[in-house]
Amino acid sequence: MRLLVTGGLGFIGSNFIRHMLAADRGVRILNLDLRTYAGNPASLADVARGPRYRWVKGDIADPAAVDRCMKGADAVVHFAAETHVDRSILDASAFLRTNVVGTQVLLDAALRHKVGRFVHVSTDEVYGSVARGLSREGDRLEPNSPYAASKAASDLLVRSYVVTHGLPAVVTRASNNFGPCQYPEKALPLMITNWIDREPFPLYGDGRNVRDWLFVLDHARALALVLRRGRTGEIYNIGGTHSCDNRELVERVRVLMGVAPGLVRRVPDRPGHDRRYALDCSKLKALGFQHAFGFTQALQLTVDWYRGHEAWWRPLKKKGGFRSYYSRQYAALRKGRASR
Ligand code: TYD
């Protein structure tokens, strides 16, 4: 199978590519990735020399680049996206361009080239905050951040191409991913890398926001299954094995890492911060999916990975881009009260 992966230098995409190359000897992967701030060729250094993988630097919103890459593809797995909620609050423009226009360019090319399967990788954030119960695939979309709104828009665009043009597409909506190669602006890698340096983790608001935690390798396995067995036009929720609030997460990681209490600083809350996400995954289970990693085991693997790969993340945190984002985002930190 010739697979076009978009955004394969990113966190989830790179883990998916490594998984597919190992799990399927017959797959050849072309990775179309612009190498934005969050894309890192070092994440795939171990497979980059192999004959079954190739990276093409290009923008999914560029129809000519997309057309060239789509030629000969049997299937597409579309990860390329701006993903960080806090950045979308600071400036939403890149989110609209990549997540919405980029998806439309890909869908048009997939139609032209008669691709046999299009997997659109999306997020549970499109459902918005759910006070109780679980979000099901048919629930109303109530995105609250510009990021979530851009993903909801792209999900609907995919739906329209299925209904109107008969494109054989499926949508997946995953919960909060964690694991190796996640850019350290996200909560877990920020926490782990800050604590390796004995620096505080900035906890937003009261820390009672609940997230469902999905190990990225289980996500990769679920996507491989949906690629094979998913039914055209369907949406599949992909949740993790553990749901908890941010206070519990902080405490679990603190204990795992052997860090003394006190390295948490309460900062003002993110505007529009969704209180809780939770997914009903019975459709995915009906396809035969089972998690391979327990939560504590996966957290430990993640902590170990960041401890063992300082050469991967230290340069990222030193870069001007991270620092200027961090100082914009955490200007509030200086005003925050120390706690715990
Ligand atoms: P994040 O990793 O940004 O994922 P998302 O917002 O897409 O769920 O954040 C996970 C949770 O952690 C979320 O409730 C926000 C919170 N958070 C903090 O408390 N401090 C931080 O510095 C970050 C980045 C997130």
DSSP for 66-104? HHHHHTT-SEEEE------HHHHHH--HHHIIIIIIIHH
DSSP assignment string, 173-236: EE-EEESTT--TTSHHHHHHHHHHTT--EEEETTS--EEEEEEHHHHHHHHHHHHHHPPTT-EE
Q: Return the closest-CA partner of residue 320 out of 40, 42, 37, 9.
A: 37
Residue 332: predicted pLDDT:
46
User: Which ligand 1 atom sits closest to the C-alpha of 210?
Assistant: 14
Say what angle helices 246-257 and 295-308 make with each other, to 10 degrees. Answer: 60
* Nearest residue by C-alpha to atom 25 in ligand 1: 187
User: Which ligand 1 atom sits closest to the C-alpha of 270?
Assistant: 15
Domains with residue ranges and CATH for the chain: 2-177+214-238 (3.40.50.720), 178-211+241-272+294-332 (3.90.25.10)
Q: How many angstroms does the Cα of residue 287 sit away from the middle of ligand 1?
A: 30
Q: Residue 207 in contact with residue 246, Cβ under 8 Å? A: yes
- Residue numbers annotated as active site: 124-125, 147
Q: What is the pLDDT along the chain (340 residues), one digit of tens a residue?
A: 999 999 999 999 999 999 999 999 999 999 999 999 999 999 999 999 999 999 999 999 999 999 999 999 999 999 999 999 999 999 999 999 999 999 999 999 999 999 999 999 999 999 999 999 999 999 999 999 999 999 999 999 999 999 999 999 999 999 999 999 999 999 999 999 999 999 999 999 999 999 999 999 999 999 999 999 999 999 999 999 999 999 999 999 999 999 999 999 999 999 999 999 999 999 999 999 999 999 999 999 999 999 999 999 999 999 877 888 887 876 644 554 333 3
Q: How many angstroms does the Cα of residue 202 sit away from the middle of ligand 1?
A: 10
* Nearest residue by C-alpha to atom 9 in ligand 1: 187
Q: How many angstroms does the Cα of residue 187 sit away from the middle of ligand 1?
A: 5
Q: Return the closest-CA partner of residue 209 out of 161, 263, 144.
A: 144
What does DSSP say about strands 210-215 and 242-245: parallel, antiparallel, or unpaired? antiparallel
Q: Is 85 in the pocket of ligand 1 (CB under 6 A)?
A: yes
Residue 331: predicted pLDDT:
64
Q: C-alpha angle 43/314/266, rounded to 5°?
A: 110
By residue count, the chain amounts to 340
Structure tokens at 44: 């795939």
Cβ atoms within 10 Å of 65's Cβ, excluding its own: 18
> Would you say the pTM of this structure is higher than 0.95?
yes
Q: Which residue has the tokens 């690629």?
A: 227
* Nearest residue by C-alpha to atom 12 in ligand 1: 187
